[in-house]
Amino acid sequence: MKKTPLYEKHVSLGARMIEFGGWMMPLQYVGILQEHEAVRQRAGLFDVSHMGEIMIRGRGATEFLQQLITNDISGMREYRVLYSPMCYPDGGTVDDLLVYKFDSERYLLVVNAANIQKDLQWIESQRPHDVEVEDMSEQYAQLALQGPKSQEILQRIVDIPLDSVKFFRFADGVSIAGVSALLSRTGYTGEDGFEIYLPANRALKVWDAIMEVGAQYQIMPAGLGARDTLRLEAALPLYGHELSPDISPLEAGLDRFVKLDKADFIGREALVKQKEDGISRKLVGLEMIDKGIPRQGYEVQVEGRRVGYITSGSFSPTLKKNIALALVDVSYAAEGFHVDVLVRSKALKAEVVKIPFYAKQYKK
C-alpha cells in the first residue's frame, strides 16, 4: 500500500485512513458533513497526491494526444487545461483525465490513481516513435484547495496575482510558501479552487503554510469522503462509477468532451455509430421521493422491471436530500420521470432531475 508524503500529517490530525486505488488516504478528519460544508462555504484542503501524472513529450506529442483522447486539443493554447475522456476502440472508457499544455511538444496528463498502470500501458502501446511517455506520479504530490475563500487564502503565500489564473488555466514555477509549484484553477468539488502540483518532499511545507493562513477563514482539511459527496452534487463523473470500459463517455453524458468532428481518434468509429444509432442508456440524476439512500449498484426499476442501476448515490449534505446518478434505459431518462430504486428489496420512489444537483460557482 502506497503512502502520500502527507501520510503522517493525516494520522497526526486524527484522520480515518482507508485504502483507495492502492493508496492509504484520509477518508475524513472531523466528519464528512463538516468538511463538505467547509468547502461549500469557506475552504477545504485535500491531499490528492494519489492522482497520477504522466508527461507526454516530443515532436509528435500534439498529434498523438489528438489520437488518444476524445476532446480536441488542436485549438488549445499554452498554459490551458482541458478535460477529456480517453477511449478504447469500442468506445468504452480507459480513463478520464486532465491535459495540461506547456507547449505543442510537452503536455502533462493527470489521471485517476487506480488507473495509473493501466493508462501507462495503454498509452505506451499506442505511442509513436517521436513521443516520450514518462510516469511522474511518484515525484509529484498534489494538493487541492477548494472553496470560495481559496483565492484569498492562497494569494497570501504566492508570488503571482491569482486573478490571472482563470478557470482551467495554469501557471508553472509559481512560488507557494517558497516552494516552486504548478498551480491550476481546477478541481473536483463544484467550487472555485486550485490544484497544486509540487515535489513530493515539499508537500508538507505547503500544506502547513496553507493551513496556517487559512486558519482565519476556518479552513478545514478535507478527506475523500467529502470529495465524493462534493463531486456527486456537482455531478462530476468518477471513474469506476459513471465511467468504465463498459460505459462510453456518450452514455455518461459527456458529449461536449467528445469531438466526433475532429480527425480520427481511438474510439471514434464506435462513438459515431453510438451517436447515429442513438444511445440505449443514459446517465441521469435521481432525487429520492421516498425515504432511503440510493447506493452504487442498487437496481432502478419501472413497474417492477429493471431499467438501470445506481452508479453513485448519497445523502447530499448541501441539499439535505438523497440523490444519485444512475445509468438508465433512455426511455426513462426524461426529467420528471418517476422510477423506483430497489433499496434492501423495497421499491422506493425517485424522480429524474436535472444535473448538476448543485449549481457551480466557478470564477471565470
Partner 1 sequence: MKVKVIENLKYSKEHEWVRVEGNRAVIGITDYAQDSLGDIVFVDLPEVGRNVKAGEAVAVVESVKAASDVYSPVSGTVVEVNAVLEASPELINQDPYENWILVLEMSDPGELDALMDAQSYERFCEEEEE
Q: Under the rule (CB under 8 A), what is the footprint of partner 1?
A: 16, 27-28, 31-33, 225, 229, 291-293, 295, 314-315, 317, 322, 344
- Is the CB of 190 or the CB of 225 nearer to partner 1? 225
On whether the CB atoms of residues 111 and 68 are closer than 8 A, the answer is no
Quote the least distance from Cβ 288 to partner 1, whole Å: 10
Quote the least distance from Cβ 107 to partner 1, whole Å: 35
CA distances 112 to 12, 61, 117, 181, Å, are 26, 21, 10, 20
Burial of 77 (0-12, 13-18, 19+ CB in 10 A): exposed
Quote the least distance from Cβ 315 to partner 1, whole Å: 4
Quote the least distance from Cβ 266 to partner 1, whole Å: 35
What phi and psi values does residue 248 have, to the nearest 5 degrees?
A: -85, 155
- Is the CB of 225 or the CB of 267 nearer to partner 1? 225
Q: Which residues pair with 133 in a beta bridge?
A: 56
DSSP assignment string, 227-261: HHHHHHHTT---BTTTBBTTB-TTTTT-GGG--TT
**Alpha carbons 172 and 301: distance in angstroms, whole number:** 49
- Is the CB of 34 or the CB of 126 nearer to partner 1? 34
- Is the CB of 71 or the CB of 146 nearer to partner 1? 146
DSSP 77: P
**Alpha carbons 299 and 286: distance in angstroms, whole number:** 13
33-43 exposure pattern, b = at least 16 Cβ within 10 A, e = fewer:
eebbbbbbebb
Quote the least distance from Cβ 220 to partner 1, whole Å: 14
- Is the CB of 214 or the CB of 317 nearer to partner 1? 317
- Is the CB of 21 or the CB of 199 nearer to partner 1? 21
Quote the least distance from Cβ 45 to partner 1, whole Å: 19
Quote the least distance from Cβ 46 to partner 1, whole Å: 16
- Is the CB of 263 or the CB of 319 nearer to partner 1? 319
What phi and psi values does residue 132 have, to the nearest 5 degrees?
A: -110, 140
Quote the least distance from Cβ 291 to partner 1, whole Å: 7
On whether the CB atoms of residues 105 and 63 are closer than 8 A, the answer is no
Q: Which residues pair with 14 in a beta bridge?
A: none
133-149 exposure pattern, b = at least 16 Cβ within 10 A, e = fewer:
bebebeebbbbbbbbbb
On whether the CB atoms of residues 139 and 199 are closer than 8 A, the answer is yes
- Is the CB of 50 or the CB of 268 nearer to partner 1? 50
Amino acid (one-letter) located at 116: I
CA distances 331 to 6, 186, 282, 308, 335, Å, are 47, 35, 9, 11, 11
- Is the CB of 119 or the CB of 228 nearer to partner 1? 228
Quote the least distance from Cβ 148 to partner 1, whole Å: 22
